[in-house]
Protein backbone atom coordinates (compact mmCIF):
# COMPACT_ATOMS: atom_id res chain seq x y z
CA UNK A 1 0.00 0.00 0.00
CA UNK A 2 1.28 3.43 -0.89
CA UNK A 3 2.25 5.63 2.08
CA UNK A 4 0.94 8.75 0.34
CA UNK A 5 -2.45 7.11 -0.02
CA UNK A 6 -2.56 6.50 3.74
CA UNK A 7 -1.57 10.11 4.48
CA UNK A 8 -4.25 11.42 2.12
CA UNK A 9 -6.93 9.23 3.71
CA UNK A 10 -5.95 10.26 7.24
CA UNK A 11 -6.08 13.90 6.09
CA UNK A 12 -9.69 13.38 4.95
CA UNK A 13 -9.42 12.74 1.21
CA UNK A 14 -12.47 10.68 0.31
CA UNK A 15 -11.93 9.85 -3.37
CA UNK A 16 -9.11 7.82 -4.88
CA UNK A 17 -8.94 6.33 -8.36
CA UNK A 18 -7.76 2.73 -8.47
CA UNK A 19 -6.65 1.36 -11.84
CA UNK A 20 -4.52 -1.76 -11.42
CA UNK A 21 -1.76 -2.52 -13.88
CA UNK A 22 -1.01 1.04 -14.92
CA UNK A 23 2.43 1.47 -13.35
CA UNK A 24 5.15 3.29 -15.26
CA UNK A 25 8.48 3.11 -13.47
CA UNK A 26 10.19 5.47 -15.95
CA UNK A 27 7.68 8.25 -15.29
CA UNK A 28 7.67 7.48 -11.56
CA UNK A 29 3.94 6.82 -11.77
CA UNK A 30 2.36 4.02 -9.80
CA UNK A 31 -1.35 3.40 -9.74
CA UNK A 32 -3.44 2.18 -6.84
CA UNK A 33 -5.17 -1.15 -7.06
CA UNK A 34 -8.53 -2.21 -5.73
CA UNK A 35 -7.01 -4.25 -2.91
CA UNK A 36 -5.12 -1.13 -1.75
CA UNK A 37 -8.43 0.69 -1.31
CA UNK A 38 -9.97 -2.28 0.53
CA UNK A 39 -6.93 -2.53 2.83
CA UNK A 40 -7.04 1.20 3.53
CA UNK A 41 -10.74 1.06 4.44
CA UNK A 42 -10.10 -1.86 6.79
CA UNK A 43 -7.08 -0.19 8.38
CA UNK A 44 -8.87 3.10 9.05
CA UNK A 45 -12.33 1.66 9.76
CA UNK A 46 -13.86 3.43 6.76
CA UNK A 47 -16.88 2.44 4.66
CA UNK A 48 -17.66 3.10 1.00
CA UNK A 49 -20.02 5.91 0.06
CA UNK A 50 -23.57 4.83 1.03
CA UNK A 51 -24.86 4.59 -2.54
CA UNK A 52 -21.79 2.60 -3.62
CA UNK A 53 -22.06 0.31 -0.61
CA UNK A 54 -25.74 -0.34 -1.40
CA UNK A 55 -24.77 -1.20 -4.99
CA UNK A 56 -22.06 -3.60 -3.72
CA UNK A 57 -24.67 -5.36 -1.55
CA UNK A 58 -27.24 -5.45 -4.36
CA UNK A 59 -24.66 -6.95 -6.75
CA UNK A 60 -23.77 -9.53 -4.05
CA UNK A 61 -20.17 -8.28 -3.93
CA UNK A 62 -20.31 -7.19 -0.27
CA UNK A 63 -22.39 -8.10 2.77
CA UNK A 64 -24.37 -5.63 4.90
CA UNK A 65 -21.33 -5.09 7.15
CA UNK A 66 -19.33 -3.86 4.15
CA UNK A 67 -17.11 -6.95 3.90
CA UNK A 68 -16.24 -8.11 0.40
CA UNK A 69 -17.64 -11.58 -0.22
CA UNK A 70 -15.56 -14.33 -1.80
CA UNK A 71 -16.67 -14.94 -5.39
CA UNK A 72 -19.37 -17.57 -5.72
CA UNK A 73 -19.44 -18.97 -9.27
CA UNK A 74 -22.95 -20.31 -8.62
CA UNK A 75 -24.37 -16.84 -7.81
CA UNK A 76 -26.91 -15.92 -10.53
CA UNK A 77 -25.32 -12.56 -11.38
CA UNK A 78 -21.80 -13.99 -11.63
CA UNK A 79 -22.97 -16.97 -13.68
CA UNK A 80 -24.78 -14.63 -16.08
CA UNK A 81 -21.67 -12.44 -16.36
CA UNK A 82 -19.52 -15.50 -17.09
CA UNK A 83 -21.97 -16.42 -19.83
CA UNK A 84 -21.68 -12.98 -21.41
CA UNK A 85 -17.90 -13.30 -21.32
CA UNK A 86 -18.00 -16.63 -23.12
CA UNK A 87 -17.61 -18.75 -20.00
CA UNK A 88 -19.15 -22.14 -19.41
CA UNK A 89 -22.16 -20.73 -17.55
CA UNK A 90 -25.41 -20.29 -19.41
CA UNK A 91 -26.02 -16.65 -20.41
CA UNK A 92 -29.84 -16.93 -20.25
Arithmetic mean of pLDDT over the chain: 79
Residues 6+ apart with CB under 8 A from 25: none
Residues 6+ apart with CB under 8 A from 40: 1, 5, 6, 9, 46
Number of C-beta neighbours around residue 40 at 10 A: 20
Kindly report, residue by residue over 45-87, the tens digit of the pLDDT: 988 889 999 998 988 888 988 888 888 777 777 777 777 766 5
**pTM of the predicted protein model:** 0.62
Q: Is residue 92 classed exposed, middle or buried when 0-12, 13-18 and 19+ CB atoms within 10 A define those classes?
A: exposed
Can you say how many angstroms the Cα of residue 49 is from the centroid of all Cα atoms in its chain?
12
Q: What are phi and psi of 18, to 5 degrees?
A: -115, 115
Tell me the C-alpha distance between 85 and 87, whole Å: 6
Amino acid sequence: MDGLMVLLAVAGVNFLIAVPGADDIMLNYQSLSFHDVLALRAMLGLRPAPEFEEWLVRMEIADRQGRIRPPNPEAPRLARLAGYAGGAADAH
